[in-house]
Amino acid sequence: MRLPESKHHGWEERMYALRNVPPVMRIFWDSAPSCVSLSLVFRLITALLPLGALLITRLIINGVVAYVSHSRALPKHFWLLVVGDFALAGLSVVLTRAVDYLDEVLAGRFTMSSSLRIMKHAAELDLASYEDPNFYDQLERARVQAIDRVSMIRAVGQLIQQSIVAVSLAASVFLFSPWLVVILVGCVVPAFLGETHYAFQGYALRFRQTPIRRRLDYLRTLASSKESAKEAKLFGLGRFFTSRYDTFSQQVHQEDVSLARRKLVAGSLLGLASTACYYGCYAFVIYRTVTGHLSVGDMTFLAGAIAGTSTNIQAIFSTPSGLADQALFLGDLIRFFSIGPQIRTRPDGRSVSMAVILPLLLVPATGAAIDIVNQLIALLFPPRVLPKLDLSKGIPDDCVTVAAVPTLLLNESQTRQMVEALEVRFLGNRDKNLHFALLTDSVDSRSGPADEDPLIRLCSQLIERLNRKYAQQSRGAFFHFHRRQVYCASEGTWMGWERKRGKLLDFNGFLRAEHDAFSVKTGALALLKDVRYVITLDSDTQLPRDAARKLIGTLAHPLNRAVFDRSGKRLQRGYAILQPKAGVDLQSARKSRLAAIFSADATFDVYTRAVSDAYQDLFGEGSFVGKGIYDIDAFHRLVDTWLPEGVLLSHDMIEGCVGAEYQLNVALLDHYGSAAEFRPSDGCMPLAISRLLKHLLQCGN
As to burial, measured by CB atoms within 10 angstroms (0-12 exposed, 13-18 middle, 19+ buried), residue 117 is: middle
- The whole-angstrom separation of Cα 503 and Cα 520 is 13
Q: With both helix axes pointing from N to C terminus, report the angle between 454-469 and 412-428 in degrees, rounded to the nearest 10.
A: 30
- pLDDT at res. 397: 92
Distance of alpha carbon 393 from alpha carbon 473, whole angstroms? 16
Contact status, residue 24 vs residue 31, Cβ threshold 8 Å: no
This prediction's pTM: 0.48
User: Do residues 259 and 198 lie in contact, with contact meaning Cβ atoms separated by under 8 Å?
Assistant: yes
Residue 586 confidence (pLDDT): 66
What is the model's pLDDT at position 662? 54
Backbone angles phi, psi at 649, to 5 degrees: -80, -50
Please tell me the distance from the alpha carbon of residue 518 to that of residue 533, in angstroms, as a whole number: 20
Neighbouring residues of 312: CB distance < 8 A, sequence distance ≥ 6: 162, 163, 165, 166, 169
- The Cα 48–Cα 43 span in angstroms is 9
Distance separating alpha carbons of residues 320 and 326, to the nearest angstrom: 10
**Which residues are CB-neighbours of 455 under 8 A, at least 6 positions away?**
409, 410, 411, 412, 415, 442
Residues for the chain: how many in total?
701
Count the Cβ atoms, other than its own, within 10 Å of residue 420.
Answer: 11
Q: Shortest CA distance to 620 belongs to which of 572, 685, 550?
A: 572
What digits encode the pLDDT tens for the residues 534-556?
A: 999 988 888 998 899 999 999 99
Domains and CATH numbers, the chain: 11-205+302-338 (no CATH), 397-675+684-700 (3.90.550.10)
- Residue 684, classified by CB atoms within 10 Å of its CB into exposed (0-12), middle (13-18) or buried (19+), is middle
- Closest by CA position to 213, among listed 223, 205, 224: 205
Vertex 547 angle, CA 545 and 552, to 5°: 145
CA separation for the pair 222, 215 (Å, rounded): 11
* Rounded alpha-carbon distances, angstroms, from residue 92 to 16, 98, 386: 35, 10, 76
Nearest CA to 668 among 699, 637, 625?
Answer: 625
Q: Which of 520, 426, 417 is nearest to 473 (CA)?
A: 426
Q: What is the pLDDT of residue 695?
A: 53
Cα torsion angle, 319, 322, 326, 328, sign: positive
SS (H, E, C) 129-178: HHCCHHHHHHHHHHHHHCCCCHHHHHHHHHHHHHHHHHHHHHHHHHHHCH
- Cα dihedral 55, 61, 63, 69 sign: negative
Q: What is the pLDDT of residue 5?
A: 42
Give backbone dihedrals phi and psi of 483, rounded to 5 degrees, phi first.
-100, 155
SS3 100: helix
Paired with 536 in beta bridges are: 404, 628
pLDDT by residue (tens digit) across 436-468? Answer: 999 999 998 888 887 688 999 999 999 999 999
* Residue environment code for 217-226, b if the CB has 16+ CB neighbours within 10 A, otherwise e: eebeebbeee
Q: Are 154 and 110 in contact (CB under 8 A)?
A: no
Spans of the chain below 50 pLDDT: 1-10, 602-609, 676-687, 701
